[in-house]
Amino acid sequence: MALIPQNCSKSLAGETVKNILVIEDETKIRNLFLNCLKSEGFCTIGAENGIIGIQRARECSPDLVLCDISMPELDGYGVLNTLRQDPVTAVIPFIFLTVTLTKSELRKGMNLGADDYLTKPCSVEELLGAIAARLEKQTALKQWYLNQHQSLKKSQSTDTATFYPTSSRLSKVFQYIEENYHQQINLSDVAQAVGYSHAYLTNLVKRQTQRSVHDWIVERRMTEARYLLINTDETVNRIATKVGYVDAGYFIRLFRQIHKLPPKEWRNTSRIQLVEECFSASSSLN
């Protein structure tokens, strides 16, 4: 069952209240932060150690994480490293809480992707100022991410007007492929549909496009497969069926041959790449 953040019935000036996850092993200090944030109108989530903190970050997708460095079982660095490797939690703003801070500790945290540090004890003004700065940056970052995602969706979608080459002699060929690529079609089906012999159609397409009919069918299917992998969470087997492959194993082998990665890994790599670009944009906002 997903955890529901506390104190989430409020709204500030019509805006959605932000969820703050506080990971702190000392009960008194954790409650102090939670109560302070509640009084300022935030939704709050508490975690008594790093392992539970990671679990709650994944369950609740908080808008920001406050995390102590020195904790049993898993310290703050371990928490940050784990969250940054998961595309779901990778871009959540992360502020370390620490009693003392050396240059080496600062460098280690920044290398892992920490956004800020607060020394304990800190004033309410310092706490709220750090949170406000991170949330403001995150708002700009989310807008950038949305723009990038829309651009990526557009680049992965297929404009049939430009996907196929312009050729009056091949227009019916490409029209048939476009209308039927998601079915089990081959050269014979295309030839029969357009009224050409196999040999004539093969030579005509090869002469005008330097590619075979089979190449065009496969490329259209792979273009749609890439779009579905990026923009949906459908299973690879389901996507294989949607783009015309009854044998998912064959689809996976063919996809890997063309893209040098199997579909699942290609999907994860592409999404992580977008997150990394998001981090690069984040650095430019500092």
pLDDT in tens, 36-62: 999 999 999 999 999 999 999 999 989
d(CA 16, CA 211): 53
In a domain, 284, yes or no: no
pLDDT digits (tens, 9 = 90+) for 79-101: 999 998 887 788 889 999 988 87
Is the pLDDT reported for residue 12 higher than 60? no
Q: Which helix (H) or strand (E) holds 162?
A: helix 160-163
In a domain, 1, yes or no: no
Q: Are residues 214 and 139 located together in one domain of the fold?
A: no
Instruction: Tell me which residue has tokens 């997903």.
Output: 2
Instruction: Tell me which residue has tokens 């240059």.
Output: 103
Q: Are residues 142 and 33 located together in one domain of the fold?
A: yes
Q: Are residues 182 and 227 located together in one domain of the fold?
A: yes
Q: Are residues 212 and 120 located together in one domain of the fold?
A: no
Q: Are residues 211 and 270 located together in one domain of the fold?
A: yes
Q: Which of 125, 75, 82 is nearest to 96 (CA)?
A: 75
Contact 118, 130 (CB under 8 A): yes
Q: Are residues 201 and 114 located together in one domain of the fold?
A: no
pLDDT band at 220 (very low <50, low <70, confident <90, very high): very high
Q: What's phi and psi for 133, nearest 5 deg?
A: -65, -45
Phi-psi region of 227 (alpha: psi -120 to 50; beta: other; left: phi over 0): alpha
Q: Are residues 141 and 26 located together in one domain of the fold?
A: yes
CATH code of residue 127: 3.40.50.2300
In a domain, 154, yes or no: no
Q: Are residues 124 and 183 located together in one domain of the fold?
A: no
The two tokens of residue 286 are: 């500092």
CATH code of residue 178: 1.10.10.60
Is the pLDDT reported for residue 232 higher than 50? yes
What range does the domain containing 200 cover?
Answer: 160-276
In a domain, 285, yes or no: no
Q: Are residues 23 and 123 located together in one domain of the fold?
A: yes
Q: Are residues 118 and 27 located together in one domain of the fold?
A: yes
d(CA 72, CA 31): 18
What residue type is assigned to position 152 of the chain?
L
In a domain, 283, yes or no: no
Q: What's phi and psi for 222, nearest 5 deg?
A: -70, -35
| Res 147: pLDDT | 65
Please tell me whether residue 79 adopts helix, strand or coil conformation. Answer: helix
pTM: 0.54
For strand 116-119 and strand 64-68, is the pairing parallel, antiparallel, or unpaired?
Answer: unpaired
Among 113, 146, 179, identify where a domain stops: 146
Q: How many domains does the chain have?
A: 2
Please tell me whether residue 44 adopts helix, strand or coil conformation. Answer: strand
pLDDT digits (tens, 9 = 90+) for 17-43: 899 999 999 999 999 999 999 999 999
What number is the average pLDDT over the span 118-145?
84
Q: Are residues 113 and 202 located together in one domain of the fold?
A: no
Q: Which of 15, 83, 67 is nearest to 43 (CA)?
A: 15
